[in-house]
Amino acid sequence: MSDKFILKVIPISHRNNNSLLLKFKYNDELITLSKSIGCKWSSTNKGWYVYHSNENIRLINNAFKDKADIDLSDVKPFLPKKSKKPVSVKIPEEYLDLLIRRRYSENTIRVYSSLFKEFIQYYSNIKLDDITENDIRKYQDYLVKKRKISISTQNQAINAIKFYYEKILGHDKGDFHIERPIREKKLPEVISENELLRILKATDNLKHKSIIAMLYSSGIRRGELINLRIKDIGFDKKIIFVRLAKGKKDRTTILADNTALVLRKYLKLYKPNYWLFEGMNRKQYSATSVGSLVKKASIKAGLNKIVRPHMLRHSFATHMLEQGVDLRYIQTLLGHGSPKTTQIYTRVTSYSLAKIKSPFDAIFDSKDSDNKGS
């Protein structure tokens, strides 16, 4: 019996468009894969959907084939004919070599390679070096109008294409004017201090409790957490050494006293060998497992929202700001390259908003004052 997840693909009509709905049990990795091929969440259908096309069916197959058992039984009439084989294309060797030589992360290499290969496939009848700026613009139109990909995927596709023309062929940045999509300005989701305590109280497993405490109390990312080694925890100096974080920069962040107490108990009981948090056979703990345990803990705590690891990082920054910690220190702890990135938390905190008085209240306060004087 397969230990893969079951992925059911269902043809639906969504917002007057023929779409494909992806149904599967909650799994962070499958959600990430859904987003990578341009899927969006449908609250109405309780699933991830994408525009119904033979190209997207192919993408679903390629993206999920190693992670899930794909059920396309309801979509069979719409599958492309087997006689039509796609033209085989290869990414130029120098493209992959330069990504590796410049020490891009494994995830970035995988994403760039996949997106650039799709671009080459789209123009398989044209020599790569003969593709014009207008061709690139038309490809963007195809991604947005036909594929209906997300803004983040569109930006990644642009980056993958620009990497070839600017880094491999040596074009100046101004040679190809590729329009960027307008980014959505969403506020970070946070939880309150009381909700965090409820999550911790609902978590009986000591390893899981340690992971949740670490994510919140230090503000580290999920990827940074699973890369921590035992020796990266400085109990004496109350710091955590974060190696090669985002942007390949080392930094330190704080180790809370209460987190240190939980960690000492965890280390004594579990006795990890190398990584601070280990999975089966003492291998590095997986990002998927971290996401799953945080979600389950929030459900068990009875919260009216699903909590994800990055929400704990957002909450750390927001609560620090509410405590009066200088924004520059928060920026350093989070590892943000620009203060503009950290400033978004000023839009989330309720501390400053609580001090602002609505003119509606001011009217009544003034009226009461007049009455008192009469």
Catalytic site includes residue 221: yes
Question: Which tokens go with 125?
Answer: 């009848």
The residue type of 158 is I
Which H or E element spans position 70?
Answer: strand 68-71
Which of 8, 14, 35, 310 is an active site residue?
Answer: 310
Question: Which tokens go with 201?
Answer: 């109280």
Question: Which tokens go with 1?
Answer: 């019996």
How far apart, in Å, do the first and last CA atoms of the chain sit?
Answer: 84
Which of 52, 208, 308, 336 is an active site residue?
Answer: 336
Strand order in the sheet with 239-242: 233-234, 239-242, 251-254
> Which residues have C-beta within 8 Å of that of residue 112, sequence separation ≥ 6?
99, 104, 156, 159, 160, 163
Which of 52, 208, 313, 314 is an active site residue?
Answer: 313
With 0-12 CB in 10 A as exposed, 13-18 as middle and 19+ as buried, what is 334?
buried
Which of 221, 251, 308, 319 is an active site residue?
Answer: 221
Question: Which tokens go with 38?
Answer: 């341009």
> Which residues have C-beta within 8 Å of that of residue 37, sequence separation ≥ 6?
50, 56, 59, 60, 63, 149, 153
Catalytic site includes residue 345: yes
Q: Is the dihedral of CA 329, 330, 333, 334 positive or negative?
A: negative
Buried b (16+ CB within 10 A) or exposed e, 256-268: beebbebbeebbe
Which of 58, 138, 246, 300 is an active site residue?
Answer: 246
Catalytic site includes residue 246: yes
- What residues act catalytically? 221, 246, 310, 313, 336, 345
